[in-house]
Amino acid sequence: MKQTVLIWLAAGLASFALLPWHMTDDGLLDPAWVNDGAPSSGLSIVLSGGWWLAPAGLALGAALALQVLIAEPVRRARLTLGTAVAGLTFMAIQGLIIVRAGPRLFEGILTGETILAGQPGMGAGAGICALALLFAGTISLSQSGKGQGDAFVVSTIGLIVALVAIFVFFPVIHILVRAFEVDGGYALNKFFPRFFSSDIWGLGCLVSDRSCGVGMNSLFLAVMTGVGTTLLGLSFALIFTRTEFRAKKFLRVLTVLPIITPPFVIGLALILLFGRAGTVTEFFADLLGWEATRWLYGFWGVYFAQLLSFTPIAFLVLIGVVQGVSPSMEEASQTLDADRWQTFRFVSLPLMRPGLANAFLLGFIESLADFGNPLVLGSGYNVLSTDIYFAIVGAVADPAKAAILAIALLTLTLSAFIAQRIWLGKKSYATITGKADSGQNASLNPVLKWVCYGTALPWAALTLVVYSMIIFGSFVKLWGYNHSFTLDHYIRAFGIDFTTGRWTGVAWDSYFTTLTISSVAAPLTALVGLSTAYLLVRQKFVGKDAFEFSTMLSFAIPGTVIGVSYIMAFNFPPIELTGTSIILIIVFVFRNMPVGVRGGIAAMSQLDRSLDEASITLGANSFTTVRRVILPLMGPAILAALTYSFVRAITSVSAVIFLVSAKHNMATSFIVGRVENGEFGLAIAYSAVLIITMLTAILLLQLLVGTRRLRRSDRVQTA
């Protein structure tokens, strides 16, 4: 252990002395910072007057000295811990105070030429120094207590807490601060009138022609979507689990669709069908002489699109819930002479109640956070997520307004999230006892069965039509006007000039950027998510509940809010990331982490804890246990986390749209641009390619899981 601390401290000191402390313009790999003669490393900056960096170097040096000089382990560990904490605190303070334009606070005290010149964002040197101090601190912490800690576990906790603090809490706090800002100063009393203004919460639409506030619009839409998706999802789930319906496999496919559908696709397909020049609209216009209207571009259009987008999620949740109702309870009810309707009404339905609430809250949160559908269809119906976007990129950029709207949106989603936690925390799914339950679930009462068929099947058919529109629409010249077959859209997007070998398509750049960034982000997401799951399931530590809550929090923060907070927080020192590809990777990792955590928790709960304990009592430490016992047994969960975070990174738009740059454009934001230009054909063609890309990725990974299983059963047979 002492060795590990020594190595970290030595690495920290070396990077303090040698590597550029600040971010270099050309990147670390460009040797310009070595040659240009300006002081770049922490040490050389200190020597040329940048005294505020000295504490970091001193802390590293002092900690190293402590390691060498003090023999008594507990005292050594405690002193090292203190030194590391002090060093990190000083680093954070100097970074927050001294920015590019010089000191932000204490201008009276902090004078001098070098300090007034300011400093750029932290770079490789600062990063490694901070890591060195962090790990020296966490390893020492594990040595200083009552022998509770394992260095690997404490270090992992420390790292994840630090990352979540920097990349989730720090940006959100920035938004809060921004919302209090008034003309360069801060005023508490201005916040409340702005937050509670009728622009956000007004109910004017109920009593007059004026429109309601955006917050109210969002809330109303979210409640409607939550109710609608839950009812439709329940219909599907009942058909899937309680009837003899033949095409159950087809229903299963529905559950995969929302995961691989880029965000605007449903909106676009609806425009092609029901827009003013849409097929269905024109058909009815011809047949009945109705006048084509713009009804789709408003509440009903967005609602319709959200129902299509989020019903599969409710379906997925409710399959588990409906299956979770123990057959023996229904059989008990039937032996007590209840008929099928009574059994459903008084036994099954009440048992599903927590699951229904969960499905509703999921639909509610998804609807609030939804950005793609309102952007494409919501021109007549303002909601928070798109208004935040327009407040940043619109004609009149108003970051303070964006911050206020973001807080309003965050308040709504967090309330729902907390309500869900409280609700589900109290209810136990007592029907899942862990005992194998034989017996058969009651089939549905005929009326109910036909109600389910009557709602779910037309809906499934509509979904099918919408998706086939995507394929169809990408092959016609100009939808609604010229339906002749063409490959133009694909050629324009993905053309390759074979004579010169050039990638002439306009979409290639963003396509490759998307694939690269997603492939980098996916393993990192899986790593962070699964490590967190391991800590939550298998380790006991102080503040575990708060830790779990904070890691799940980023699920409740809508993408637009994350996007806005990231550009507010990481646009200037100490952490200056906007315009880089790193910020895109980071945003994906922390947005998708909760999914990895949930998947990891589910998988790890199935591994008996005694396996870990057996490994530990046999003399392995936590790291060896994770590497040799847990990871090999979690193969499928790891692949699922990888697939999911890869696919989510491809389809994500809400956060990304704020963070892309000319150099690093992503597929979804490219598509938004095409939609805004009215190039629907190209947008749809690109979406179709994305869907195929994701399906391929999913199938490849499934195949990997499949072959793994085969090999194990081979081994069983030959042995």
Q: Tell me the HSE value of 110 on the side-chain side, using a 13 A CA sphere.
A: 20
179/176 Cα distance (integer angstroms):
5
4 contributes a contact to another protein by CB under 8 A: no
CB 149 within 8 A of CB 142: yes
**3-state DSSP of 410-435:** HHHHHHHHHHHHHHHHHCCCCCCCCC
Binding residue for another protein (CB under 8 A) from 615, 645, 651, 669? 615
- In the bound state with another protein, the residue whose beta carbon lies nearer, of 622 and 687, is 622
436 contributes a contact to another protein by CB under 8 A: no
Which region, left, alpha or beta, applies to residue 379 given φ > 0 means left and ψ of -120 to 50 means alpha?
alpha
714 contributes a contact to another protein by CB under 8 A: no
- In the bound state with another protein, the residue whose beta carbon lies nearer, of 146 and 249, is 146
616 contributes a contact to another protein by CB under 8 A: yes
611 contributes a contact to another protein by CB under 8 A: yes
365/558 Cα distance (integer angstroms):
8
- In the bound state with another protein, the residue whose beta carbon lies nearer, of 434 and 619, is 619
Binding residue for another protein (CB under 8 A) from 620, 636, 702, 705? 620
Residue 704: Cβ-neighbour burial (10 angstroms; 0-12, 13-18, 19+): middle
457 contributes a contact to another protein by CB under 8 A: no
- In the bound state with another protein, the residue whose beta carbon lies nearer, of 499 and 713, is 713
Q: Vertex 410, ends 407 and 416: CA angle to 5°?
A: 145
Quick one: CA dihedral 444, 448, 450, 453, positive or negative? negative
CB of 620 to another protein, least distance (A): 4
CB 84 within 8 A of CB 59: yes
710 contributes a contact to another protein by CB under 8 A: no
CB of 433 to another protein, least distance (A): 18
Binding residue for another protein (CB under 8 A) from 246, 426, 435, 715? 715
Binding residue for another protein (CB under 8 A) from 621, 673, 702, 705? 621
Residue 402: Cβ-neighbour burial (10 angstroms; 0-12, 13-18, 19+): buried
257, two tokens: 């669709």
501 contributes a contact to another protein by CB under 8 A: no
- Residues in contact with another protein, total (CB under 8 A)? 26
Looking at 42-50, 394-402, 527-535, 626-634, which segment touches another protein (CB under 8 A)? 626-634
- In the bound state with another protein, the residue whose beta carbon lies nearer, of 189 and 718, is 718
435 contributes a contact to another protein by CB under 8 A: no
Looking at 12-20, 185-193, 230-238, 617-625, which segment touches another protein (CB under 8 A)? 617-625
CB of 200 to another protein, least distance (A): 43
- In the bound state with another protein, the residue whose beta carbon lies nearer, of 477 and 628, is 628
259/368 Cα distance (integer angstroms):
18
CB of 145 to another protein, least distance (A): 8
CB 574 within 8 A of CB 121: yes
CB of 608 to another protein, least distance (A): 6
Looking at 1-9, 125-133, 511-519, 615-623, which segment touches another protein (CB under 8 A)? 615-623
CB of 613 to another protein, least distance (A): 5
70 contributes a contact to another protein by CB under 8 A: no
Alpha helices in 607-676 (DSSP H): 609-617, 622-625, 631-633, 635-651, 656-659, 667-676
The 113-152 contact track toward another protein, x by CB under 8 A, reads ---------------------------------xxx-x--
434 contributes a contact to another protein by CB under 8 A: no
325/302 Cα distance (integer angstroms):
34
614 contributes a contact to another protein by CB under 8 A: yes
Helix (H, G, I), strand (E, B) or coil at 645: helix
- In the bound state with another protein, the residue whose beta carbon lies nearer, of 502 and 627, is 627
Q: Convert 249-258 to b/e letters by CB count within 10 Å (16 or more is b).
A: eebeebbebb
How far are the Cα atoms of 12, 63, 136, 714 from residue 132, in angstroms, in the given order?
5, 10, 6, 46
Residue 539: Cβ-neighbour burial (10 angstroms; 0-12, 13-18, 19+): middle
Looking at 279-287, 324-332, 448-456, 618-626, which segment touches another protein (CB under 8 A)? 618-626
546 contributes a contact to another protein by CB under 8 A: no
539 contributes a contact to another protein by CB under 8 A: no
Radius of gyration of the chain (CA): 28
610 contributes a contact to another protein by CB under 8 A: yes
Q: Which of residues 627-666 bind another protein (CB under 8 A)?
A: 628-629, 632-633
CB of 614 to another protein, least distance (A): 4
CB 527 within 8 A of CB 600: no
- Summarize as ranges the residues that interact with another protein (CB under 8 A): 146-148, 150, 608, 610-611, 613-622, 624, 628-629, 632-633, 712, 715-716, 719
